[in-house]
Chains A and B, each alone.
Chain A
Amino acid sequence: MPHSFNPVKRFLLAVICLAVILGAESAFARSIDSDIDDLIKALETYTLGKDSTVLAMIDEKIREAGAVDPEQRKALHARLEEAFLQVLQSENATRDAKEFACRKLRNVGGLRAVPVIGSLFKDEALAEIACYALQPMPYAEVDTLLIRSVAGASPSLRIALCNIIAQRATDPLLANGERRAQALKLLSGEILNGNLLNGDQPKEKSSQENIDLVDTMLAALGRIGNPAAAAVLLDAKVIAESADARLEACIVCADQLRRAGLFFEAAPLYRIVYAEGNPVMLRIAALNGLVQCKDDDSVRLITMLLYGDDLKMKRAAAQCMTVLQDPEAITTLAQDLSLMPEDSAFLVLTALCEAGATHAAPIVEQVLKGPKHKLHTTAIHALGALGSATHVPLLAKIAAEKGVKGKVAASSLARLRGPGVNDAILEQATRSEGEVRAALIRSMGARGARELLPSITGALDDPEYMVREQALTALEKLVSGDDLPMLIDLMMNGNKLDVLDGLIPVMTEACLRADEPDPLIKLLSRALLERDAKKDGTASDDKTAFAPNGADFHELARGSLARVLGNLPCPLSLKALCKAAEDEASSVRVAAMIAFGNWPDVAPTPALLKLAERVAIPEEKTLLIKGLLNMAGLLNDRADEETKQLYKAAEALAFTPEDKASIIRSISNVHQFWVLDFLAPYEQVDKTRNDAIEALARVKAALSLTVPHDASGCPVTLAYKAVFNPEGPKVLTDNKYGSDNFRDGNWQGFKGKDCLATVDLGRNVEMRSIRARFMKETRSWIFLPVLVEFSVSTDNENFTMVASFDRPVPAGMEDQLIDDIHASINGQEARYVRVFAKSLGTCPDWHPGAGRQCWTFIDEIQVNPHLDQ
């Protein structure tokens, strides 16, 4: 029987739960409250630089208060406020404690905090932070206090007070009519009644502090930004030093009025600022304001500026067009495009684009047809943004041209928006010929219009090569994995060589775009291996579709499919290509072998070795050699026997000097002793001698660098850990030299620090020579050490320096260099070898990284290298 509560029990349980929750919350609030006294006591003695845990704990307390309900939070804030006020009033509290208390009162301070904070105005050290605390408090008492304090304050504090008064009077959350009126009264009284300096004041009053104060008050009026403030600003007479401050205040005030929809009140302020002779930037701002106020005069002003000489004002005028809301006004301004100076017309065209003024498209079209050739390219670009379907024929015609105009028109065709553009492009394409049709087909791809795919694929049959070429480009942009069956069909039924070739990247792209490429690769494999599916393909009569030696197009298409699979290396495609490599059709076999030559891993190796035993046609032998060399290159030194087998197989196939040369070049990258034997016979034959000599030199040089030495595999200790350290310090004695690529895993890099490496040889050894290599790659911030020292020791404590080398600091960017430092030693016995490389520290002054840490790179440390082996 299911267990259930009756309603009374349920009610009681709910009451208990509620009580527990409320109790927990109250307990939490009490716990927050409990240690406030202790914290405040600790705060009173706080000074900056000493342990600030108490500050963090108080901040945490405020955050904890955020977790309780609003009523409790209010109580906690009141408690905190009381505590902070206690600090402010304490004679023993430090200045830093009071400063912190003010910062916190800014957030939690209530009405009773206002007079206490206000009393700090008398204290020069705390007056500013008192302003900081009072600024956001929403009480009228704060305003009264601030305004009352202005008169007796120091100039610096007066500026601070005026700033806050303005900030409060304009803050949308604090500002109200009364607050603004109070502020305005103070400011206008000071400015208009001559309490501060104006034009009639004696010169000696124009101290910088007074000027700052007047400017501050003017700025405050600007920020208040109501009609009363505007009236004060309009009437204000100030000395020359503050003239610009007044104009700027006018602009700020006018902008606020405009935003409030008070255009009529804003316009007079803008006109004052726009007056000729005022600073250009203020005039530009005023013009912008007038335009936004829809002032009747704005079109006239813009026109005058566009025909004027001042480029800055011209630019501003054109920019203003983008904010003109009235299409008629824009058309009025734009219709004189062909008459106005070219630089203005250029600016207007750009502005029209930015404004998206589609109604101006016919005017732009006229410019394009007009005599001002310098404007044509800009007009073509503008049509892309403003034009419609009706502009397709014009743009298509220009897009067929070579050069910049053609490119811009093609881009405009791709950008054209609005109804019917795709249909217009399609219709125009059917009507046009040659280059114009090609341009239109290209634009279909650039527009990303998949609905035009049938038309694009239809264009693959076009008699014009350039049209087919553009159709392939368009197709490559648009296809997805779903289109692969259609593309295979196109390929298998095609009759043009250029289309067969062009479809290869298209199909590759389609497969790469699929989430699941495997089914597509299977589809390709099936089509490739179904040899008898279509045998009736015949060469086209078209001269551009010339099939060599009367080859079967179906076979050529299968060859192209094999090339697509070659672009998609994976086990599935490999399986199909291995079969294709033994196909009856030469084009298919060749395509498969080309794929092996570029395959990114060694998976085809067994198939290639098998093929090597059978292949007979010279061209295919060459391709197979490339495949074998590719495999060998991928194996590198990892599998010695397999590498050798691959080279032997390639050697057996090679019969032309070119084949042999490619084998020699390839094997010169394999740094093994057996390679010397492999190359020796080639040195004896004239045709391969030079290549063999070069390869032998490379291999020998590499081998000499990696010959065994007494430090091979010995442990290395670094005093400072290398920052660039892919493999750890063991690479310093691993018998492998770092290449010219500092990222090859063999190098150890130290950033800004010296390198101090100690090698433990495990036993005392007679020292004959010590070598160490360093890299210089200044473009990558890698510099040679300025000093290198070799030292030896028998006990790892007492080291004797045996060699020392200085290296100059480069004076500018230099070529990369590997500095191989070698010291001959006179037979001293030692177990420990120490290499010290003093870093340059920071990049030199001329370097882009000047003053920042540079790098020191080292590899490898050798002791007694056995160079004679």
Chain B
Amino acid sequence: MQKITGKMQKITRRSFLKKSMTAAAACGPFVVAPSALGLGATPAPSNRINLGLIGAGEMGNHLLNQYFELPDAQVVAVCDVFEKQRMPAKKRIEHFYAQRAGQGRYSGCADYNDFRDLIADPNVDAVIVATPEHWHALPAIEAARAGKDMHIEKPLALTIEEGRMIAEAVKRYGRVFQHGTQQRCNPVFPRAVELVRNGRIGKLHTIEIGTYPGAKTGDHAPEAIPEGFDYDLWLGPAPWAPYTPARCHSKPRDWSYNFDYGGGEITSWGVHHMDVALWGMGLEHSGPVEISGTGVFPTKGIWNTVLSWDMELIFENGVKMRYTDNKKLPQGIKFIGTEGWVFATRTSIDAHPRSLLSTIIKPDEFHVRTDHNHYANFLKCIRTRAETASSVDAAHRSTTGCHLVNIALRLGRKVRWNPKRECFIDDPEANRMLSRPMRSPWRF
């Protein structure tokens, strides 16, 4: 299996031999690229794209690292309803830009409790939304309305209806949209997609996806809301519930394991591979037609999303997808065709026959034209107004695919889906799960 890091590189057998020797030590502390320290050239402020970060939790900070590496972007505002997250992020941003400018102090980062204030900030050109999933739709739509381009973290939305509303707003206001499915710009997955789309593995008949399993926790008694935490705003459109840390922020992404705020790993991580699967099939404007399988849910506790699962999805082109947690299938995505297969993970690609890996894609074949940096791709598209690597339609459909899996699991039975009308077929019970009302006064 070829190991690939960073840019796609030509792997000779010799370099492979050398790489394999060091592979065992591949995990460990982070290595910060020199450019993150401001060693690259810095464009003039007038040429920079000013970003506002909404949600300064784990993912928000990770995204800061990514955008710090790009000299043509500057984070000028940060928003979080938790002061303990907001102020350190602001401090970090200001320290970074002070260091990049070679000056002792920099105080150009505004901080906001309410995302609407950040979006209204005229200094902000584009927003990064790294909030919990129940807080994706409203900031995205508000940003579109205000003429801001946006990077929305995955999965796109809490419900299928919300995803559709975001897609409509983005198109209505002609915004540049990037979904946080950065596998689109990883060198491995575009290659796999090109091989599949150009028939190198013959006729595609099966896709296998393995991804991280869910997690469980116990019951947590309500607690006093910490000082500096705007809990009512954190809940926002979600049904009211008393505060407890496990609901919001005791560990990274705890909220995603509660259906009020997320869809568990099925949507959170699974959407990456679902996206690649739809891309590989050329069904980015469609989805599965039949979803069935089994799953195991927690037997108690504040987290109620599925722990492990084994699902089968059938698509309109007849392709079957097995979608499981990574205890049943290896982490990654495998496309299997009549004449071979290709298996891709974030760091490697393998195929049978292996010669597939070096086949040439001709100009009149399907090409993936993308950048190898998802975040730079976003900035580039802001300038050119072109479609990003991860468009809003693709984001909506891949997220929908994951929601459908969750719905079938929650109903405990097979469901049939009409991807054109975006509704379940003859299934009023399932159709009740397509949308959710928002807690007043929040609305679309």
Residues of chain A at the chain B interface (Cβ within 8 Å): 48-53, 55-57, 59-60, 62-67, 77, 99, 103, 106-108, 128-129, 131-132, 135-138, 156-157, 159-160, 163-164, 167, 171-173, 209, 212, 216, 219, 223, 248, 251-252, 255, 280-281, 284-285, 288, 312, 315-316, 318-319, 350, 354, 414-417, 421, 446-450, 477-478, 480-481, 508-509, 512-515, 567-570, 598, 600-601, 724, 726, 742-745, 749, 777, 779-782, 812-813, 845-846, 848-852, 855
Contacts and interface: CB of A to CB of B under 8 A. Distances in A.
Nearest to A108: B429
A212 B242 contact: no
A171 B160 CA distance: 12
Contacts of B3: none
A163 B355 CA distance: 57
Contact of B221 (A49, A163, A318, A813): A49
B28 A743 contact: yes
Given A281-B146, A281-B173, A164 B386 contact: no
Contacts of B443: 159, 163, 216, 219
A448 to B, nearest CB: 4
B282 interface: no
B302 A131 contact: no
Contacts of B241: 48
A51 B413 CA distance: 27
B26 to A, nearest CB: 8
A567 B431 contact: no
B101 interface: no
B29 A167 contact: no
A317 to B, nearest CB: 11
B174 A285 contact: yes
A167 B437 contact: yes
A457 B405 CA distance: 53
B219 A49 contact: yes
A135 B436 contact: yes
Nearest to B355: A515
16 contacts: A52-B219, A55-B304, A56-B304, A59-B304, A63-B297, A63-B411, A128-B239, A160-B437, A216-B441, A223-B444, A350-B384, A354-B386, A415-B363, A570-B13, A743-B22, A813-B37
A49 B221 CA distance: 4
B76 to A, nearest CB: 18
A724 B24 CA distance: 12
A322 to B, nearest CB: 9
B360 A56 contact: no
A724 B28 contact: yes
B102 to A, nearest CB: 11
Interface in B395-444: 409-413, 421, 423, 428-429, 431-441, 443-444
Given A48-B241, A447-B363, A514-B355, A743 B173 contact: no
A835 B302 CA distance: 42
Contacts of B304: 55-56, 59
Given A160-B437, A281-B146, A742-B28, A600 B219 contact: no
A52 B384 CA distance: 52
Among B25, B146, B387, B409, chain A packs the most CB atoms within 10 A around the CB of B25
A744 B32 CA distance: 19
B95 interface: yes
B145 interface: yes
Nearest 9 A/B pairs, CB to CB: A63-B412, A66-B412, A49-B221, A66-B413, A743-B25, A136-B432, A160-B440, A448-B360, A448-B362
A55 B13 contact: no
Nearest to B33: A779
Interface size range of chain B in the complex: 35 or more
Contacts of B112: none
Interface string B342-359: 000000000001110011
Interface in B314-346: none
Given A569-B14, A726-B24, A846-B95, A447 B362 contact: yes
B29 A855 contact: yes
A607 B10 CA distance: 31
Given A136-B431, A513-B359, 10 more contacts: A49-B244, A50-B219, A56-B301, A128-B439, A173-B423, A569-B17, A749-B29, A813-B37, A848-B92, A849-B30
B364 interface: yes
Contacts of B440: 128, 131, 156-157, 159-160, 163
Contacts of A742: 28-29
A315 B385 contact: yes
Contacts of A350: 384-386
B12 interface: yes
A513 B358 contact: yes
Nearest to A777: B29
A477 B29 contact: no
A163 B29 contact: no
A284 B221 contact: no
B234 interface: no
A62 B91 contact: no
Contacts of B240: 128-129
Contacts of A318: 385
A260 B366 CA distance: 33
A59 B304 CA distance: 10
Given A49-B219, A56-B300, A128-B439, A173 B363 contact: no
Nearest to B65: A848
Contacts of B91: 845, 850
A744 B22 CA distance: 9
Given A49-B221, A129-B239, A414 B13 contact: no
Nearest to A127: B440
A170 to B, nearest CB: 10
Among A64, A171, A414, A850, chain B packs the most CB atoms within 10 A around the CB of A850
B13 A569 contact: yes
A848 B28 contact: no
B437 A131 contact: yes
A852 B62 CA distance: 11
Contacts of B355: 480-481, 513-515
Contacts of B18: 600
Given A173-B423, A848-B96, A212 B441 contact: yes
A528 B243 CA distance: 77
